[in-house]
Amino acid sequence: MTTPTALETLHWAQRTLEEFYGATTCLDVRDFVRTIENFDELGRLHVEQHETRGDIDLALLFDRDIFSAWTSQQGHRAASVLCEEVSHFVYLGFNHRRERSVCAIELELQSEVDRILLAFHPLAPARLAASRTKLLGELQNSPHAPEKVDYETARRWAARLVRHLAGGDPAAWTAHERQVLCEFFHRDLGEKIHLLRSLR
């Protein structure tokens, strides 16, 4: 079996998320990928809003090295970053079609959940599946970073949700847990926070 390319993995992740959540974007993520040499981040979703036209321009910006890393021992890290950014793409694209604005912490919260969901998917590419233990460890033991408050808060909230589902073991998720995740995706931020605060 050949190893899927980075672009093929992006496309797989988009289709998987859209099918899982019933959240069609009517877009192909591969059309929005841009690579930049010596980019200051591994990956970022760039959004430009046009107030007069009432629409947005999207681009997934990646450091060119992330695609080189795909076939190296750092492939698991590249897979994690790619899935995080495609999660942003799907969540923003779907909500834009619903004429609903989203904030940064929503994007980060959903992407933390989606990285776990994709890594534990039965059809996950080997590069991503190999990072399952590492991703769970990062989620449960997130270092404190005061300069990234939204990111760290989102990770703590996502960890609380994952711990609540099947005792924190994504491999044991049943139809019930998957339904909870689907409903979580479609809630607005206030409803999500209310749910998360109720979990122990």
pLDDT digits (tens, 9 = 90+) for 94-107: 998 888 888 889 99
Q: pLDDT-based confidence at 145, cuts 50/70/90? A: very low
Q: What are phi and psi of 39, to 5 degrees?
A: -65, 150
**Can you give the residue ranges of every domain in the chain?**
6-198
The pLDDT of residue 147 is above 50: no
Look up the pTM and report it. Answer: 0.85
Whether 125 and 4 have beta carbons less than 8 Å apart is answered as yes
Whether 173 and 161 have beta carbons less than 8 Å apart is answered as no
Instruction: Tell me what the mean pLDDT of segment 6-35 comes to.
Output: 91
- What's the pLDDT at 40? 58
Q: pLDDT-based confidence at 82, cuts 50/70/90? A: confident
